[in-house]
Structure 1
Amino acid sequence: MSLIYLQGYPESLLAQVRQLIAEQRLGEVLRKRYPEGHAITSDRALYDYALTLKTQALRNAPPLNKVIYDSKIKVMKHALGLHTAISRVQGGKLKAKAEIRVATIFKQAPEAFLRMIVVHELAHIKEKDHNKSFYQLCCHMEPQYHQLEFDTRLWLTEQALRGRES
């Protein structure tokens, strides 16, 4: 089986994932580790959720103009979420607007996975590239960021096995 969501991880780790899949235990392991879903299913609730995280960790960052679930994001073709900075001329001034879009599949994900996606996209407000500063900022906002990113990729693998991928 191709582990497309886990490309770049060490072969020893991938072997463990393949073992869980062969034993049909991947979903069980994830449900045990992350038993709770979330009730953040509307765009307004997602905006409020992202704004709370931003206020806690990125007080001096530019404002968020829009945070929505986007059914057009296909996890395989894009990322898990998207951050865009839209610049428009209004009057004689250049105005920038920050938008975050999260793949709709995360409405059904455990809250920790949604948090990881939102933290990732919020970090792009300050750091555009996936560099050391970017990941330090992610870990500042969510100390378990790297584990959550890996587990989110495991969850997406399990969703694909069940035919539920976005």
Structure 2
Amino acid sequence: MPELSYLQGYPDHLQAQVQQLIQQQRLGEVLLQRYPQVHGCTTDKSLYQFTVELKNQYLRNTQPLSKVAYDSKIQVMKHALGLHTTISRVQGGKLKAKAEIRVATVFKNAPEPFLRMIVVHELAHLKEKDHNKAFYSLCCHMEPSYHQLEFDTRLYLTHLSLFGELYE
């Protein structure tokens, strides 16, 4: 049986169900039924617009985003799906902080709900730095099905690691 590295924190009964889907070669089928098509945000510019729209809808009073981009250097295997960074630069006599969000390029060809979950997660870091109760409450405020989407994204990554691309 393959190791379910993306699902390690989940209960044994859920992992057993996923193992059964893998053995029956049905994991991809289940994902395609739930999420039949990919999003249209294939460029950094469209990803930036997508992210800013979500930010403006839920987090107007947070610092502006200076950059949102896909990043091929993000190692999904190391459990990072996206990154939120604040870069400090000296401009004149002042220290300026710029917020950037980077999303793993593996999500260029993924369903829109998975991309939205990752963007919501990274946007929540603008207000809450730690993964605490307030952080997850904010994620659920911006995306009510956040926890289900996170689980399904982990299923998608499991499928990618075992069988390769799901969406051609």
Q: Please give the TM-score of this superposition, normalised by the length of structure 1.
A: 0.96
Match of 1:155 in 2: 156
Q: Percent identity?
A: 73
The Cα of 1:10 is off from its aligned counterpart by 0.3
Q: Distance in 1 between matches of 2:128 and 2:26?
A: 37
Residue 50 in 1 paired to residue 59 in 2? no
Cα RMSD between the aligned structures? 0.9
The Cα of 1:139 is off from its aligned counterpart by 0.4
Q: Please give the TM-score of this superposition, normalised by the length of structure 2.
A: 0.95
State how many pairs are aligned: 164
Match of 2:84 in 1: 83
Q: Distance in 2 between matches of 1:52 and 1:121?
A: 14
Query: Could you tell me which amino acid in structure 2 is paired with residue 117 of structure 1?
Result: I
Match of 1:126 in 2: 127
The Cα of 1:77 is off from its aligned counterpart by 2.4
Residue 2 in 1 paired to residue 12 in 2? no
Match of 2:113 in 1: 112
Change (3 A) 1:21 1:78: closer
Give the unaligned 5+ runs of structure 1.
none
Match of 2:140 in 1: 139
Match of 2:70 in 1: 69
Change (3 A) 1:103 1:138: same
Change (3 A) 1:5 1:145: same
Match of 1:22 in 2: 23
Runs of 4+ in structure 1 off by over 3 angstroms are: none
Give the unaligned 5+ runs of structure 2.
none
